[in-house]
Structures are given as C-alpha cells and as structure tokens.
Amino acid sequence: MNCQDLNGSSLQQDWSPSMYSVFEEDSNSSCSSVATSILSLRTGESEDPDAEEKLCAVCGDRANGYHFHVLTCEGCKGFFRRSMSKALNFTCPFTRSCPVNKAKRRRCQACRLQKCLDVGMRRDMIMTEEALMARRELRLKKKQERQQRLQRVAEVGSLSVEQKQLIATLIDSNQKHFDSKFENFKGYRLQPQVVKDKWGNSPLSSPDCSPKYSSQGPVVQELMENDAPKDYFKELPHFADLSTYMIQQVIKFAKDIPIFRSLGMEDQISLLKGATMEVSQIQFNSVFNLETNQWECGKIILSIEDGALSGFQRIFLEPLLKFHVTFRKLKLHEPEYVLMQALALFSPDRPGVIEHDLIDEIHEKTALTLKCYIDYHHPLPDSRFLFAKLLSLLAELRTLNDENAKQMIHIQNIMSDAMTPLMKEIFS
C-alpha cells in the first residue's frame, strides 16, 4: 500500500481549504532556489551582481573556495596537491621571478609552486589517498541519501486528500478539547502544601529541582513503599480531580472524531477504557519541560513528586518520567502528536473490542498517514528512524498503561474512596 491508498468515506468531514497550508510546501520554488545556488557555485557567479568577485591568490583567476588555507581557483588547487603529493622538484629556467597569472601560470611550474607557498598554501593540509577515498565515499553516500529522499518525496508527492482530512479532523478536535493550561478546570480540591524536610526541601526534590529517589531520607522511602501510610496521600484528592478532568478531555476528543462516533457503543467504551491514560500522556507531553522535568499546565505545575505524594510508586514513576523525556526530545509537530493519539485510541486489541477488522483498518490508515507525514516533512537523516521510534514509544506507553492500572488498584485498596466514579469506570 502506498501513501495515496487512503480510501473510505468514513474519514471525510467538512473542512476548509485553508487547512492545507499546514501540510503543503512550495517544492518548485525550493528546487529552483537550490538549482540556482548550485549553478552559481559551479560557474563561480554570485547571486548578487554587485558583490565583489573573489580571485585566486596565486594566479588571479576566479576563485571557487578556500583550498589548503588559501582562496584559490580549482587549477591552482590541483597543481599544488599534485606537486606536493608527488614531491616534484621544478627548476626555473630564468631568475625565479616569472609572472604567475591566469594566462602564464603554466609556463613556469617552479615559480607557480613558489607563489603557492608564498601566499600561504599549506602542505600539511593535503589529505592522504585513504582520506580522500573516505571523503569521496562519504559524499557519495550523502548524494545517494539525497536522491532517496527526493525519490520518496516524488512517490509521496503530497499527503492525499483523505490523509489531510484525517489530520485536520484530529487537530481540530484536540484544539477544541485539550485544555493544556487547565483554564476551564474549576471546582476542584486544592493542591495541599508539599511535605518539607528539615532543610526546607520537598521530599523528592533536590535544591536544583531535579527529582531524586534514593537519598532524601525516610519520607521518600515511605512514599515509595507498597504500604505507604495514609498521611502521605495528601495530594490524592487533588490528583483525583485532575485525572477526572483529563479523562473528560480525552472522551470529548474521541467523541468529536466522526469515525469514532460511527463505531458501536460497546467498541467506543472498550477503546476509551483501554486508551484514555495513553492518549492523555501523549497530550500532556506537549507541555513537558525538559529543563525542569515538569508539566507546565498554566498555573498548575506538575512533577513526578506530585505523583509520589498521590500514592504512586517508583516502579511506575521512574519509567513514566523517562518516557516523557525521550518523547519530548523528538520535537514532534502538532499533526504527529494527534496522529499518535489516534493510534493509541484505535487499538484493535483492547479488551472487549467487537469490530476488530474495522478498527484495525482505521489503525493501519492512521499509521500510514503518520509515516507519510514524517517522510514528507522531516529531512534526512532525522526522519530515517523516527517512525520506528514512535511505534516503540507506543509499545512502551502500553506497558506504562498496564502498570498505571495496577497502581490505581493499589491506591484504591489503601483508600477506598480515592477514585471518582468516572475514574472507577475507566480503570475498572
């Protein structure tokens, strides 16, 4: 299946042609600009007609770059390399004062070589044959990669209409329902003051705000133990309200996708119960700060420490933080984030799913759209393994989802009234 094979009217919706601006690029103008630049390099012509012409320091011919530490033409570069590499000895038939210019540079090799040395050309900068061969191979490899990239772009051409519609639908739904700053989060139970140690630091943070798990004293150990005392679940009510709000956002996001609404109610419920935590983690990765290891949600700043004070354990928190750091470093575009959310949502292997084949088809088309988007919008070499990395992160997120469910049961066993009714419905 190629990138154009995305059929199925179920993915179509009303959309504006202006949405195309997110995905299109002016390839003709780009290629023209590149061609002009290459031509100017080959001919030595400057794009600026008023720019000063650069001349060879040896013979005065038009220079094409710095060679062996001096701005020279291609001819003097080759002459100097051959002379030095072969250790040639030249003799001037006159008084070693022959003129060296564009017209007469071949008349006396001795004076030409001396002129090369006088202007500062360096013998120690001449590469060995082995080094030259390695450089040629590297250049050939890069050229082949460029050709492969151009071939892929030619094959893809552009995202298909259906693929653009899918991305536009997902972006629209996410922008309407993902409240990353919690601006509409009202009526929740307030976040309490974090326990401080005798130095005034919070139990899971060092003075530089980076999370610590091993050397902050007995408080941390109690927070991380399986049977942590209830006193240390003081952020649990606040966390329960936050989680409920995040779940509501994911449900609204899914319900605003036409193809999701077209599924049977049993499958909608099964997909949401299985994917809500995963979709929410993908959404909130976009507000994760790599410098502070915190989720900056407007006035609400969340950290792994808050998870510990809500009753979560090291076995879940440390891999969760590592996931967000790795994921955020990929610097995904908005279309890639929403396609990842859709891939997590439309997973045909969720418990209770009935229409496996239909959901598997949606999942495959979504994955193909993500692959095509990456190929079309990310230059080599960064795009070479990006799609594979994202699939690997989805698998890692599934493991985190399973562990999260265990953690929720653990917390529920300690505090029976910990979860809200919606949380119980999702994590049951």
Residues 349 and 222 in one domain: yes
Mean pLDDT of the region 129-154: 79
Query: Is a pLDDT exceeding 70 seen at residue 63?
Result: yes
In a domain, 20, yes or no: no
Query: Is a pLDDT exceeding 50 seen at residue 423?
Result: yes
Mean pLDDT of the region 334-360: 95
In a domain, 12, yes or no: no
pLDDT score, position 326: 96
Residues 137 and 172 in one domain: no
pLDDT score, position 200: 36
Q: How far is CA 25 from CA 22, 148, 378, in A?
A: 9, 19, 12
Residues 136 and 168 in one domain: no
In a domain, 347, yes or no: yes
Residues 263 and 135 in one domain: no
pLDDT score, position 382: 67
pLDDT score, position 129: 83
Mean pLDDT of the region 371-383: 81
In a domain, 166, yes or no: yes
Q: Which residue has the higher pLDDT, 314 or 228?
A: 314
Query: Is a pLDDT exceeding 90 seen at residue 330?
Result: yes
Buried b (16+ CB within 10 A) or exposed e, 29-44: eeeeeeeeeeeeeeee
Q: Which of 413, 278, 403 is nearest to 337 (CA)?
A: 278
Percent of the chain with pLDDT over 90: 48
pLDDT score, position 150: 60
In a domain, 110, yes or no: yes
Mean pLDDT of the region 287-315: 88
In a domain, 199, yes or no: yes
DSSP state of 64: -
Mean pLDDT of the region 118-136: 90
In a domain, 47, yes or no: no
Residues 95 and 185 in one domain: no
Q: Which of 337, 338, 310, 327 is nearest to 407 (CA)?
A: 310
Residues 253 and 181 in one domain: yes
CB atoms within 10 A of CB 336: 21
- Say how far residue 274 (Cα) sits from the centre of its chain: 26
Residues 134 and 225 in one domain: no
CATH code: domain of residue 342:
1.10.565.10
Confidence band of 1 (pLDDT split at 50, 70, 90) = very low
pLDDT score, position 352: 93
pLDDT score, position 317: 92
Mean pLDDT of the region 101-117: 95
- Mean pLDDT, all residues of the chain: 78
Residues 316 and 252 in one domain: yes
Residues 221 and 354 in one domain: yes
Record the pTM: 0.58
Which of 106-110, 225-229, 404-408 is modeled with the greatest confidence?
106-110
pLDDT score, position 120: 95
Confidence band of 101 (pLDDT split at 50, 70, 90) = very high
379 upstream amide cis, omega within 30 of 0: no
Q: Which amino acid is at 378?
A: H
Residues 188 and 291 in one domain: yes
Q: Is residue 255 helix, strand or coil?
A: helix
Q: Which of 89, 404, 142, 182 is nearest to 277 (CA)?
A: 404
Which of 28-37, 42-51, 298-307 is modeled with the greatest confidence?
298-307
Residues 177 and 245 in one domain: yes
Which of 105-119, 126-140, 405-419 is modeled with the greatest confidence?
105-119
Confidence band of 100 (pLDDT split at 50, 70, 90) = very high
Q: Which of 45-49, 147-151, 183-187, 241-245 bottoms out in mean pLDDT, i.e. has the lowest?
A: 45-49
Mean pLDDT of the region 101-108: 94
- Angle CA 143–148–149, to nearest 5: 95
Give the domain range for residue 170: 161-427
- 89 contact partners, CB below 8 Å, separation of at least 6: none
CATH code: domain of residue 122:
3.30.50.10
Tell me the sheet residues that pair with 300: 297
Q: Which residue has the higher pLDDT, 28 or 81?
A: 81
Domain end (from 113, 141, 169): 141
Confidence band of 361 (pLDDT split at 50, 70, 90) = very high
pLDDT score, position 52: 64
pLDDT score, position 339: 97
Q: Is residue 428 helix, strand or coil?
A: coil
Query: Is a pLDDT exceeding 90 seen at residue 220?
Result: no
Residues 112 and 179 in one domain: no
Query: Is a pLDDT exceeding 60 seen at residue 199?
Result: no
Helix (H) or strand (E) segment spanning residue 72? strand 70-72
Q: Domain count of the chain?
A: 2
In a domain, 394, yes or no: yes
For the purposes of burial, counting CB atoms within 10 Å of the CB of 394, is it exposed (0-12), middle (13-18) or buried (19 or more)? middle
Confidence band of 196 (pLDDT split at 50, 70, 90) = very low
pLDDT score, position 221: 42
Domain end (from 106, 141, 176): 141
